[in-house]
Amino acid sequence: MTITEIFKNFGESRFREVETEIVKIFSKNKNVVISTGGGAVLRQENMDALRENGVIVCLTASPETILQRTGNNNDRPLLQVENPIEKIRELLKFRKPYYEKADMTIDTEGKTPWQIAQEIIEKIKGEN
């Protein structure tokens, strides 16, 4: 079932429950990358599970960049609104205190995925 179908049929709260179940399963592994959506941090149990065997990295970008990156993606039910840029700003503002709990933050503006990955690796190496 897609994210959109879960939202449509069961609502966001059920999606968050499933997300938490999956985070708990995958976070038991070591040497893996778990790429969550921006709302995963809203539950402390997710943060605790992710931090148990790993480092939590918050990737940031401007609302405009986020819209550009997600604009053609229909699997973002929270952005299927009349004014998605405003919704992104609202979500970022609400989630900011949660994002600040990450172990590190990486600004992704103007960077390729390779550059972002290299920056994460260097920061993790610097912490060990």
Residue 8 neighbours by CB under 8 Å, 6+ apart: 77
| C-beta of residue 58 within 8 angstroms of C-beta of residue 106 | yes
- Percentage helix, strand, coil for the chain under 3-state DSSP, each rounded to 5: 60, 5, 35
For helices 3-10 and 12-26, give the axis angle rounded to 10 degrees.
130
Q: Which of 56, 39, 37 is nearest to 48 (CA)?
A: 56
Residue entry with tokens 């405009």: 64
CA 63 to chain centroid: 14
Which parts of the chain sit beneath pLDDT 70?
A: 128
pLDDT for position 128: 58
Threshold 0.75, pTM exceeds: yes
What superfamily in CATH does domain 3-127 come from? P-loop containing nucleotide triphosphate hydrolases (3.40.50.300)
Q: What does the domain layout of the chain look like in residue ranges? A: 3-127
pLDDT, one tens digit per residue, over 35-49 is 998 999 999 999 999
